[in-house]
Structure 1
Amino acid sequence: MDITWHGHSTFHVTVGETSLLIDPFFDNPKTSVEPADLDTPDYVLLTHGHADHIADAAHFSDATLVAVPELVSYAKDEFGFEDAVGGMGMNMGGTVECGDAFVTMVRADHTNGIMTDYNASAGMPAGYVISTTKPTQVADEASETFYHAGDTSLMSEMRDVIGPFLEPDVAALPAGDHFTMGPWQAAVAADWLDVEYAIPMHYDTFPPIEIDPENFSKELDAAGAKAEPVILEGDETFVYPVDF
């Protein structure tokens, strides 16, 4: 599984022959990539409707869209998407097969209004667990699993559901504070999730969320988390499993 961070919350994930682009927003200081530089992914996953997560979605409207039904409807009208997974999007707790990947939608604690003339709710905000096998109650040690938490605060669902039952190996966690978790809460989330690797995201894009990402590493130690911090540069790829 290849996990590429394009700054903010924008990730390009490759599972087998399938590519998934999460929250396309390239107007951020961590990336030198323009949307036109990328091949159209197979799937576009949107966590919620805020502009810093959907601003560049229209450039990838030939992809299949994964989002809650309310956001699917908006994206079809505004961005020209024709195909949505299942025809109508998906919702919390559901798992859909996306090529070589399985995508499970989980809750995120955040807001989700579309702050334009549209002036409407985009449904519930979400996070995604992307895995190489379909989640079941029987643990699959061979599965490779990436959790993109979306914009969220610390929530007990990470400890009680996502960690023990969806078993992510790698988690991308917002750490910029102000609008989401800050470093200490993100570190507690990594501990609760019991992940091997934790990637901070959603920071340094705007003045209110500027942080020293090394503080995330320190907070992981303070939380007693087993997770190894992965501080990515913009447009850098992390490959899991790690080949030592």
Structure 2
Amino acid sequence: MKLTWYGHSTWLVDVDGTELLIDPFFDNPKTDTDPEELDPDYVLLTHGHADHIGDVDRYEGTKLVATPEVVEYCRDEFGDYEAVGGMGMNLGGTVELDDAFVTMVRADHTNGMETSYGTSGGMPAGFVISDTKPTQVSDQESRTFYHAGDTSLQTEMRDVIGPFLEPDVAAVPIGDHFTMGPWQAAVAVDWVDADYALPMHYDTFPPIEQDPDDFRREVEATGSDAEVTVLDGDETFDLGEELDY
């Protein structure tokens, strides 16, 4: 599993050749990539704010993975998209996308937008992506990535995501102001018991400027064994190379 960060909350996740693009927003200072250079198999959207769907129109015709409300909004605003399952998916669900299994989990945030459902894009989400189907039986050989989305600290991380979905690596927002800041993000990493922690959603706008070393110190202060890896924009983290099974 290879994880490429394009700044903000934008990730390309490669699971044995299946490419999943999360929250395409390339108008940020961390990336030099033209979004049209990428040809993902699926586009995953955590919620409908502009800094998470800003370049979704570059991928018209791509299969969308999002709540039904966000799928409908993107269809109305940006073009013809095929929703996974026809209507999209929702919290707690798992879908099989070629070589990847994607579970939608809760994120505590806002998601206002105009849809026929009303002025809401539904509940914001995070995604847990694995190369094996999640079950109650622990699978030490699976490779699993948690994209927390825009969220505050919430106990589902400790009670569900950590013990049952078992992420090896967690990408967490550290920008504060709109999401968790460094100390809450560090607690989240500890709660999900990840081996690796990748900060995201920072330094894009003045209100979310952060020093990622503060996040590193906060992770150490929790007593977590997670290794904090600060990526440059357009840099790839190869989870397969990092994990020694």
- TMscore range, shorter length: over 0.9
CA distance in 2: counterparts of 1:136 and 1:17, whole angstroms: 23
Give the aligned partner of residue 97 of structure 2.
98
CA distance in 2: counterparts of 1:82 and 1:218, whole angstroms: 42
Give the aligned partner of residue 84 of structure 1.
83
Give the aligned partner of residue 141 of structure 1.
140
Residue pair 1:50, 1:115 contacting (<8 A) in 2 also = no
Matched, 1:192 2:191: yes
Report SS of the residue matched to 1:113.
coil
Report SS of the residue matched to 1:185.
helix
Give the aligned partner of residue 13 of structure 2.
13
Report SS of the residue matched to 2:240.
coil
Matched, 1:50 2:49: yes
The CA deviation at 1:115 is 7.6
Give the aligned partner of residue 218 of structure 1.
217
Residue ranges of structure 1 left out of the alignment (5+ in a row): none
Report SS of the residue matched to 1:87.
coil
The CA deviation at 1:114 is 2.3
Residue pair 2:132, 2:142 contacting (<8 A) in 1 also = yes
Give the aligned partner of residue 121 of structure 1.
120
Moved more, 157-166 or 60-69: 60-69
CA distance in 2: counterparts of 1:241 and 1:37, whole angstroms: 24
CA distance in 2: counterparts of 1:81 and 1:113, whole angstroms: 22
- Overall identity of the aligned pairs, in %: 69
Give the aligned partner of residue 167 of structure 1.
166
CA distance in 2: counterparts of 1:238 and 1:114, whole angstroms: 33
How many residues end up aligned between the 2 structures? 242
Residue pair 1:64, 1:81 contacting (<8 A) in 2 also = no
Residue ranges of structure 2 left out of the alignment (5+ in a row): none
The CA deviation at 1:226 is 1.1
Letter in 2 for 1:167: E
Cα deviations across residues 36-83 of structure 1 (Å, max 9, x unaligned)?
A: 222x20000000010000010010122110000001111111121331
Matched, 1:107 2:106: yes
CA distance in 2: counterparts of 1:91 and 1:212, whole angstroms: 34
CA distance in 1: counterparts of 2:120 and 2:80, whole angstroms: 19
CA distance in 1: counterparts of 2:109 and 2:55, whole angstroms: 21
RMSD: 1.5
* Runs of 4+, deviation exceeding 3 Å: none
Cα deviations across residues 146-193 of structure 1 (Å, max 9, x unaligned)?
A: 000000000010000000000000000000000000001000000000
The CA deviation at 1:128 is 0.2
Residue pair 1:26, 1:33 contacting (<8 A) in 2 also = yes
The CA deviation at 1:231 is 0.2
Cα deviations across residues 97-117 of structure 1 (Å, max 9, x unaligned)?
A: 01100000000000001289x
Residue pair 2:114, 2:121 contacting (<8 A) in 1 also = no
Cα deviations across residues 112-159 of structure 1 (Å, max 9, x unaligned)?
A: 01289x982111100000000110001111110000000000001000
Letter in 2 for 1:20: L
Report SS of the residue matched to 2:175.
coil
Please give the TM-score of this superposition, normalised by the length of structure 1.
0.96
